[in-house]
A and B are shown apart, each in its own frame.
Chain A
Amino acid sequence: MSPALNVVGRSVPRSDGIGHVTGRTQFATDHSFPGMLHLKIVRSPVHHARIRRIDLSEAERVPGFVCALTHADVPHNVYTILGLIGVEPEEEFVLAEDRARYKGEPIAAIVAESEEAALDAVARVKLDLEELPAVFDVEEALKPGAPIVTHWGNNTFMYEGHPCRRVRFGDVEEAFARADHIVEGVYNTKPIEQAPIETTGCIAVPEANGRYTVYTNTQAVYFSLDNTSIILQIPGNRLHFVGGTVGGGFGGKVDVIVEPLATLAAMKTNRPVKYAYSRSEEMQVSSTRSAWRIYVKDGVMRDGRIIARKVTSYADSGAYSRQTPYALTKHAANASGPYAIPNVSIDAYCVYTNRVPSSAMRGFGITMASFALEVQMDKIAEVAGLDPWSIRFINAYRDGDIKPHRKVVEDATLIETMQAAAALVGQDLPAEFRAMTSARRSEGGA
């Protein structure tokens, strides 16, 4: 080991370890402030509805009720989390206006002296709703006559004027025509809740200097701060976000959900306000990993080489896209897998439905592609009469190969990883695979 390396290769105690084992680590909602108020949300009880009227009169009479917030109180009520990186259009309502697009969508916020009073008042809000037809399936949502979820008239996120993120490389139809085998598969996955043990939450505290300190368990402190600044139309320098301690996130705490309303309530009341999800909210209304449907069609030669791959993917973003447009872009860049395939066509759709919005979760966009493609690889192996190891070595990409989205492969390690995996499980590999390397094809190996 190089003497300059004093961490790599060594076991180093975690800086937060003592705090965790003594319970002294302060998570966001471990903070408590005198006079702290509690914010709870009135949510849509149905999947899709026109909102005719919100009647707060009974809620206002609950002892401990302090104030209610509706969309009219939110300075910039329609936003897009990824607006910070130029994604358009603004689409998600901090509090619903004329329509609720998913079951659990926030319609109003109640602020009260205690959590019990807030929950009691929430239960007494009367919603006059006209239920609308809802759609829950990505392909149903794209059919003519499907209920339209978005406020712009179709159910797809638009990528530079196209209803899907597209990748075109070579000529798949020509290659399918000369392939020895055509192998097709359709792969469906369900939404997955990240389910952190600490639920999403924050406490916004007004300071004497006119700023707001927000203790939050967001995974994205500055993303949350910037979006809060946009939604509340106040300069970012009036917000001080204290975060970095996250009781489990897995992507589930990347969206900007609790901070804007808690801070708005703190501005209205000039008191600390806590807004934390219950376990039920965490499981039912916080965003999930998207449900996916992925169609794969491969053209394969007798020797196992894949010469063409066509992928049509649909990610169910739910009622709002949150981080899903970005997931589809990552997906499209990886939907041919870690394989060198000369002809590839990918159409990846971010589809709106009346389900709970989906968003980030560990490797989102890629994880589900890997599931579909690796099952598909086993299928190809079967059709071509090869074993699952061979089909992957034969098609593995190497340094210098061009990926379908025109990126040159660098630092490939698929071959070396498979060789190491084979050794670990006692799989004897043929000499040609043992000798293979990820180095540029011209530089070495088979």
Chain B
Amino acid sequence: MGSKIITFVLGGREVEVMVKPMTTLQAVLRYQLGYTAVKEGCRQGGCGSCTVLVEGEPMMSCLLPVEDVAGMHVTTLEAITPADGLDRVQQAFLEHGAFQCGYCTPGMIVVSKALLGHNPRPTRQEIVDAFAGNICRCTGYEPIIAAVEGAARASASKAAQPG
């Protein structure tokens, strides 16, 4: 089967890629576009290290044919990082030591962003549920949960400030 041209919006910028059928979004992001914050721990939907946001929802890019995101908004960790400094979730991961090797971290932060986008004050159980598809093998779940709680508190206290 021949290749197709697919267009989607990546981090706010329209991109056009030529792909063979069934090429995954993960392969396009990493190997055609160089977005290597998208990791590849298993390429079978088992680890969550390749998680990106599609229309704001966390999705494992290794299971997603790129044709399925045609015309949609895709956000990777690269687009979450502000031009100046860090996003509050990234800052919270840093402050809580919520990583060791760092390989699961991009997926964890992308999931955290989606969760806090929908639910600014999640309960501990809601945080745990959000990470159901993300594996951290260095056994860092507690600091990761604490980081999300910390990020939620930070934004709540910011919202409470006058002006």
Contact = CB atoms under 8 A, between A and B. Distances in A.
Nearest to A196: B137
Contacts of B136: 197
Contacts of B34: 32
B103 A279 contact: no
Contacts of B44: 279
B71 interface: no
Nearest to A16: B102
| Residues of B contacting A: mostly | loop
Interface in B29-59: 30-31, 34, 36-44, 46-47, 49
A197 B36 contact: no
Given A18-B86, A30-B36, A278-B43, A197 B104 contact: yes
B77 A195 contact: no
Contacts, number: 88
A197 B135 contact: yes
Contact of A23 (B36, B101, B135): B36
Nearest to B42: A279
**Could you say which interface size class chain A belongs to?**
20 to 34
Nearest to A11: B97
Contacts of B46: 279
Given A18-B86, A26-B36, A248 B137 contact: yes
B105 A21 contact: yes
| Residues of A contacting B: mostly | loop
Nearest to B38: A23
A434 to B, nearest CB: 32
Contacts of B15: none
Given A17-B94, A32-B31, A248-B138, A196 B101 contact: yes
A196 B81 CA distance: 26
B99 interface: yes
Contacts of A279: 41-44, 46-47
Given A16-B102, A197-B101, A23 B41 contact: no
Contacts of B97: 14
Nearest to A21: B90
A389 interface: no
Contact of A21 (B38, B94, B138): B94
Contacts of A13: 94
A199 B47 CA distance: 12
Interface of A: 13-14, 16-27, 29-30, 32, 195-199, 246-250, 278-279
